[in-house]
Amino acid sequence: MSQDVLISTEGKIGRVRLNRPKAIHALNTGMCQAVLDAITAWRDDPTIEAVLIDHAPSPDGDPKYSRGFCAGGDIRLLAESGAKDGRDARDFFRVEYRMNHALFTCPKPIVAFMDGITMGGGVGISQPARHRVATENTKFAMPETGIGLFPDVGGGWYLSRLPGRIGQYLAVTGHRLDGAECVALGLASHYLPADRLDDAKARIAAEPQAIEAILGELSAPTPDAPILTHRDAIDRLFASDTLEDIIAALEADGGEWAAQQLATIRTKSPQSMKVSLKLLLDGATMPTFEDEMRQEFAVASHVVQRHDFIEGVRALIVDKDNAPRWDPATPEAVSDHLIDQIFAPLPEDEAWTPN
């Protein structure tokens, strides 16, 4: 078993503890496979009544452990693979999405503790949980348009089901939410002070049938959610599923907040923003989560080998010059034909399956 994730049982609960602190517990293929194997084993095990997912505590006070719950996936690996034949990247996505699907369909209650950075793959491993705990440290985002990717791991499903046009706003801009905002939008079910988490975990391990009561008792009043002050503007300015329309609305608004969003959008991959808007448009009416994962795998298989993903990782993660050269460089240059190519289903023998 990889030490990047610690799998154990404690009495009647299964425990998944992400343990890759130098990468803010970002997921690699081995971690996803370990979690998938554990959930598969526990789902039909009558001795396991609930599952807890968090990150491992620091063994020696190392602050790297406390920076976040999960910062995403192993982006460097994906980009290196995408620059070649893309096989390792497809293998990663295949296993990761199977893990996401196994969590989503698990009949046992799952509690995910989103303490700290919860982004990308961290969203994918926490949102399927019945109980999602945010804290004052939570920093939640799907920032993939900034690296030429898109909000995958079920992003098309989860974001398209948020109130109004907030999902489209988050997908396009990569805006970060705090713990209170996660609760207000339904992305978190409970708000606990971080210093109560150990108590919550211990009590749930002792009495897994009382999860809701335990979390309710330990919850604190949720602070105001700043994003709600912009709800009307988000619904109005991000009303269209066409990127050019959103940009035109922001340009015409003339307000400071709209100008800030416009500046943010102009740093993102035009291709990725268009992919994200279509993903949410399709995701809102996707029949099942399995169908969502199948489509996202096809899109990811195509996007990971395209210029913008490799360039985005170079600019933001490898060279860190924060000056990606997107191609196509403008929204107008991203044709409907290109988007159709990216969303084209894979041949049956290459398509994603849940097992």
pLDDT tens for each residue of 102-153: 999 999 999 999 999 999 999 999 999 999 999 999 999 999 999 999 999 9
> Hey, what long-range contacts does 199-204 have (CB within 8 A, 24 or more apart)?
200/113, 200/133, 201/52, 201/54, 201/113, 204/13, 204/50, 204/52, 204/111
Tell me if residue 10 is catalytic: no
Tell me if residue 144 is catalytic: yes
What is the distance between the alpha carbons of residues 115 and 297, in angstroms, rounded to a whole number? 28
Average pLDDT over residues 237-262: 98
| Residue 351 covered by a domain | no
Tell me if residue 253 is catalytic: no
Note the pLDDT of residue 2: 61
Catalytic residue among 14, 68, 72, 73: 73
Catalytic residue among 96, 152, 178, 296: 152
| Residue 105 covered by a domain | yes
State yes or no: pLDDT of 221 exceeds 80: yes
State yes or no: pLDDT of 64 exceeds 70: no
State yes or no: pLDDT of 1 exceeds 60: no
Backbone angles phi, psi at 322, to 5 degrees: 55, 35
| Residue 148 covered by a domain | yes
Determine the structural domain holding residue 190 and report its residue range: 5-342
| Residue 147 covered by a domain | yes
Catalytic residue among 49, 144, 178, 181: 144
Tell me if residue 186 is catalytic: no
Helix (H, G, I), strand (E, B) or coil at 234: helix
Nearest to 160 by CA among 183, 185, 177: 185
What is the distance between the alpha carbons of residues 12 and 106, in angstroms, rounded to a whole number? 16
Respond yes or no on whether the N-terminal peptide bond of residue 328 is cis (omega within 30° of 0): yes
| Residue 205 covered by a domain | yes
pTM of the model: 0.96
The residues, any chain, with a CB within 8 Å of residue 317's CB and separated by 6 or more, are 75, 76, 79, 147
What is the distance between the alpha carbons of residues 83 and 296, in angstroms, rounded to a whole number? 20
| Residue 354 covered by a domain | no
The structure tokens listed for 290 are 């399995």
Q: How many domains does the chain have?
A: 1
| Residue 33 covered by a domain | yes
CATH code of the domain containing 253 = 3.90.226.10
Catalytic residue among 82, 86, 120, 121: 121
